[in-house]
Chain A
Amino acid sequence: GAVVSQHPSWVICKSGTSVKIECRSLDFQATTMFWYRQFPKQSLMLMATSNEGSKATYEQGVEKDKFLINHASLTLSTLTVTSAHPEDSSFYICSASPGPEAFFGQGTRLTVV
């Protein structure tokens, strides 16, 4: 199957700082990528749709100024958590698709201290 890679796998940051997470499609181009958030023992919640060359589309309740998304190329989308707070600590996962089936990155564990 297609390969989607996320970086970093885990990150610890201080409260008030910003953190950038990268999502890359390694063997296909993706005009659209998706960012999910997952709290412990819970399901994946879609945060936003990343659109190459245009603004991201955010799901209801997700602060676009808090979670900045950039999709500058057909193989890279970035999610920046700005002014991170402990409540932003979570598992962030991206997905991309060469077809109907969605492939997921390995996830990024963010811990804000």
Chain B
Amino acid sequence: GESVGLHLPTLSVQEGDNSIINCAYSNSASDYFIWYKQESGKGPQFIIDIRSNMDKRQGQRVTVLLNKTVKHLSLQIAATQPGDSAVYFCAENAGTYKYIFGTGTRLKVLA
């Protein structure tokens, strides 16, 4: 079946460094992707999105890259801060407002 998966379950980065979180998706027909941040005990929070007609989108300190050829997404966080520590999920649009989530990557920011 369709799935979205992540390669790195845990990523530790030094405060101030850049973080890169990766995600692979399997449905080549997916046309919309979202990155979410989830802090412990809370629901996911929207970070940034990208449509399939784009290969890059930038937000404040975050950039999402989309490579449709290899069905790969990445989230780059610049100058990682302690407040960025959380679990990050990529989500793939699977129908109207319906999403399939990847396995998640825990980001740990080291002081």
Contacts and interface: CB of A to CB of B under 8 A. Distances in A.
B99 A6 contact: no
A42 B5 CA distance: 12
Nearest to B4: A43
Contacts of B46: 1, 101-103
Chain A contact-residue range equals: 20 to 34
B97 A97 contact: yes
User: Which secondary structure dominates where chain B touches chain A?
Assistant: strand
A67 interface: no
A44 interface: yes
Interface in A8-50: 32, 34, 36, 42-46, 49
B45 interface: yes
B43 A93 contact: yes
Nearest to B5: A43
Contacts of A36: 101
B98 A34 contact: yes
Interface residues of B, number: 22
Contact of B43 (A100, A101, A106): A106
Contacts of A32: 96-97
Contact of B34 (A91, A96, A101): A101
A6 B41 contact: no
A105 B110 CA distance: 29
Interface in A90-111: 91, 93, 95-97, 100-107, 109
Interface of A: 1, 4, 6, 32, 34, 36, 42-46, 49, 91, 93, 95-97, 100-107, 109
7 contacts: A4-B43, A34-B98, A42-B103, A91-B41, A104-B36, A106-B43, A107-B41
Interface of B: 32, 34, 36, 41-46, 49, 89, 91, 93, 96-104
